[in-house]
Amino acid sequence: MTRFASDAFAGKRALITGGLGFLGSNLAIRLVELGAQVTIMDCMLPDHGANLFNIEPVKDRVKVTFTDIRDANLMGYLVRDQDYLFHLAGQVDHIVSLTDPYPDIDINIRGTATVMEACRHHNPTVKVIYTGTRGEYGAQPHLPVDEDAPMMPKALLDISNLTAEQIIFMYHRVHHISSMVLRLTNIYGPRAQMQHPRYGVVNWFVRLAIDNDEIKVFGDGTILRDFLYVDDCIDAMLMAALCDAAYGNVFNLATGIPCSFRELVETLIAVSGSGRWTFAPFSPERAAQEPGDFYANIDKIRRVIGWEPRTALRDGLAQTTAYYRAHKSRYW
């Protein structure tokens, strides 16, 4: 059930960059169900989760173009006449970021500048919703973390996302392109990539549980995170897009409820009925970028947009496990 008028997106045109990935495909399906005309852009970046099966329920009701956001000509063409632009495309792999800094700069920074230039020249009335990440905050001395906390990213990937945010807000202030930023915490649920553990920790744990493999919990299992089910995330994105007061603002998108990794895996194993877990030391790569405890303050998004999460961790894990068990061959 949606939390706004069922016809709010009827007949509206929405462009989703990175639309064949985890968030983009879930968003596309919901928009189509709400009557929107959806165009998906995706360059099928290797290992990033783009998967045509993700849009199986609406494959005949969306337009798909295998296009890179760095292609200025095609970006300009695709953004014309759109009502909403959900900019989700990006390089998101922390391991790639450690070994090669240039994709972060080229895709996340130059790519975002290309997106916003296309809006400026071809559709300055489009409304832009960009998804950043809690990684931009880095290690924080005070919890929960609100939107005014100092930005102390530990990785170039997170620096590139923060830079993309600033580019977007410059176009909002200077060129009057209505834009907002949603900083996402750990999102989990159906339609994520399940082939490697480099990002999407909850979904990777789900795979291990389904396969009855051992789940390695780094450190002593007490590190706190903030795990948000994807349906709640999509609700927030849609509600934000419809909220005029949201534009020009940044919002944390999270549950606001701290959960340890030990609690996460114990709940997952109980829900799935399979899997086992053990402690493991951090790898050097993970240790270099581990920010410690993190959970967000969501008072601002509650106040301005009226959103709050509704899916309990146990319920979200049960739905996620059921989806991947049903479609294992499409993701393993």
Position 269 in a domain: no
Alpha carbons 120 and 143: distance in angstroms, whole number: 38
pTM of the model as a whole: 0.96
On whether the CB atoms of residues 28 and 40 are closer than 8 A, the answer is yes
> Over 90: is that where the pLDDT of 70 sits?
yes
Task: Express each pLDDT in 202-226 by its tens digit.
Answer: 999 999 999 999 999 988 999 999 9
Question: What pLDDT is attached to residue 291?
Answer: 79
Quote the percentage of the chain above a pLDDT of 90. 91
Beta bridge partners of 259: 225
Structural domain span for residue 304? 13-192+227-255+295-311
At 282 the pLDDT is 80
What string of H, E and C letters represents the secondary structure of the chain? CCCCCCCCCCCCEEEEECCCCHHHHHHHHHHHHCCCEEEEECCCCCCCCCCHHHHHHHCCCEEEECCCCCCHHHHHHHHCCCCEEEECCCCCCHHHHHHCCHHHHHHHHHHHHHHHHHHHHHCCCCEEEEEEEHHHCECCCCCCECCCCCCECCCHHHHHHHHHHHHHHHHHHHHCCCEEEEEECEEECCCCCCCCCCCCHHHHHHHHHHCCCEEEEECCCCCEECEEEHHHHHHHHHHHHCCHHHCCCEEEECCCCCEEHHHHHHHHHHHHCCCEEEEECCCHHHHHHCCCCCCECCHHHHHHHCCCCCCCHHHHHHHHHHHHHHCHHHHC
Rounded to the nearest integer, the mean pLDDT of the chain is: 96
Considering the domain boundaries, does residue 125 fall inside one?
Answer: yes
The CATH number covering residue 43 comes to 3.40.50.720
Q: C-alpha angle 30/61/75, rounded to 5°?
A: 85
Q: Examine residue 271 and state whether it is found in any structural domain, yes or no.
A: no
Question: Is 39 among the domain residues?
Answer: yes
Is residue 1 predicted with pLDDT exceeding 60? no
In a domain, 144, yes or no: yes
CA 81, CA 131: separation in Å to the nearest integer?
22
Cβ neighbours of residue 175 under 8 Å, at least 6 residues apart?
116, 120, 124
Residue 239 falls inside a structural domain: yes
pLDDT at 288 over 90: no
Q: C-alpha distances in angstroms, 280 versus 194, 197, 273, 328?
A: 21, 15, 22, 27
CA 110 to chain centre: 19
The mean pLDDT of 74-84, rounded to a whole number, is 98
Residue 284 reports pLDDT greater than 80: no
User: How many domains is the chain partitioned into structurally?
Assistant: 1
Average pLDDT over residues 112-117: 98
The answer to whether 262 and 221 have CB atoms below 8 angstroms apart is yes
pLDDT the model gives residue 289? 67
Per-residue pLDDT, 39: 98
In a domain, 268, yes or no: no
Q: Are 256 and 298 in contact (CB under 8 A)?
A: yes
**Distance from C-alpha of 276 to C-alpha of 262, rounded to nearest angstrom:** 11
Question: Could you tell me the two tokens for 166?
Answer: 């600033």
What pLDDT is stored for residue 211 in this prediction?
Answer: 98
User: pLDDT tens digits for 182-198?
Assistant: 999 999 999 999 999 99
Neighbours of 143 (CB within 10 A): 16
Closest of 220, 243, 250, 224 to residue 306, by C-alpha: 243
Provide mean pLDDT across the span 238-255.
98
